Amino acid sequence: MYVIGLTGGVGSGKTAAAHMLAELAGAELLLADDLGHLAMEKGTEGCRQIVECFGSAVLEEQGTICRSKLAEIVFQDAEKLALLNRIVHPVVKEYLKNYIAERRGSKGYLVLESAIMFETGCDVFCDEIWYISAPEKIRKMRLRQSRGYSEEKIEQIMRRQLKEEEFLKRCKQVVNNDGDMASLKNKLKDSFILVPHYMP
């Protein structure tokens, strides 16, 4: 199993790129953000810690964590967000470590998408990492149109993320997603040809 990591800034289109690449490569796809629920499942140690730190206000009637309520609490408070990350990220990282290790001997590809690949240390599980890049102006436009984010919210998120220079230093391939989906797909095809063991 050859693991390709995809990362990039908010609004770069990395999740769409990950889905496209997985389809092109016939690969399994893991979205790290979607795995956050593992630390929030009812009855887990992660769930207990979250309730202890943020209070029962984050719970639904059934005793499960309401992710939207939790997001409201941490979004405006960097310290609370860091606290939540210290609970969630180790659980996700451990899951990925075991999941990938179990499949290392098998054939094919796995695509791992994460906005915080390097911050969480998940880059160590990847054979190579691609940076999905897009000009800041385009990223902001996408976030306003697709998510309805305000300029203030966009700026807040972008300030928390790695600068482009850091991505460029640490990623093997750069895919510039400054056009439409057809253009992105063609660029991904061109990049995938360079991946080891690629069989056309």
Q: Output the pLDDT for position 198.
A: 54
| Domain end (from 85, 105, 125) | 105
Q: What is the pLDDT of residues 66-89, one digit of tens each?
A: 988 898 888 778 889 889 999 999
Residue 193, φ and ψ in degrees, nearest 5: -60, -30
Q: Output the pLDDT for position 57.
A: 87
CATH number (domain holding residue 59): 3.40.50.300
pTM: 0.88
Residues 38 and 91 in one domain: yes
Residues 43 and 130 in one domain: no
Residues of the chain short of pLDDT 70, as ranges, are 198-200
Yes or no: say if 164 and 136 are a contact pair by the CB < 8 Å rule. Answer: no
Residues 37 and 87 in one domain: yes
Q: Output the pLDDT for position 200.
A: 43
Q: Which residue range is the domain that position 121 belongs to?
A: 1-27+108-200
| Domain end (from 105, 123, 154) | 105
Residues 121 and 190 in one domain: yes
